[in-house]
Amino acid sequence: MYILIVLVILFVGAWFLPFVLHIGVKVVQFYFKVDLVITVFGRMIFERRWQGDWLDKLIEKQKESSNEQADMRKDKDDGKMRGIVPNLLRIGRWKRFVWYVEVGLEDAMSTALLIGSIWGLQGIIWERWIRDKKCRTMISCRPNFGELILCNEVSCIVRFRFGDIIKEFAKGYLKIKRRKVA
């Protein structure tokens, strides 16, 4: 009986356990770097870093993929739980969002047009997804005239509870089960 009470207390406590997810993506010229860090009570429990030359990887993927593989991907419904991460990011409590872009082309007019387009895109994204989150936000777009440069850095911190994760996975699992029954 005591074991059951302890398990219930641990489960209820874990339900409200705060997770903090820090995602950082940086692209400079043709080099990318992605950082993913998950912390609980200020202690890091997961850290993963990816980096490399994205243009070479993109070219390699293009060469590897063939028409047969594309057809297989279209026909294949493996029942993955799509939409769980976007739902978690939607219900999570956002703490910080930073988006820094620096772009430069050799022609000043082209640079100005590109910067204006990027500002428009950033405005749409901010209005649609970030404005209502009430988090610290810094969005910057800087032109660099006369120099060919591309620098894009996105970083965000999202906080959510362990119970939110359980709920979203349960919803996705039930959706898959209903799809298989029908």
pLDDT 10s digit of each residue in the chain, 182 long?
A: 677 776 677 666 666 777 787 888 787 776 778 888 888 777 888 888 877 765 566 667 766 765 555 555 544 445 555 667 777 777 778 888 888 999 888 888 889 999 999 999 888 888 877 777 778 888 889 998 888 888 888 888 888 887 777 788 888 777 777 776 65
d(CA 125, CA 133): 12
Q: Locate tokens 């800087």: which residue?
A: 142
Tell me the H-state helices in the chain. Answer: 2-15, 54-64, 67-75, 84-91, 108-125, 162-181
> So what's the pLDDT on residue 23?
80
pTM: 0.65
Please tell me the total number of residues recorded for the chain in this structure.
182
Q: Identify the sign of the CA torsion 47, 52, 55, 60.
A: negative
> So what's the pLDDT on residue 57?
66
d(CA 98, CA 141): 11
> So what's the pLDDT on residue 181?
67
Tokens for 92?
């999570």
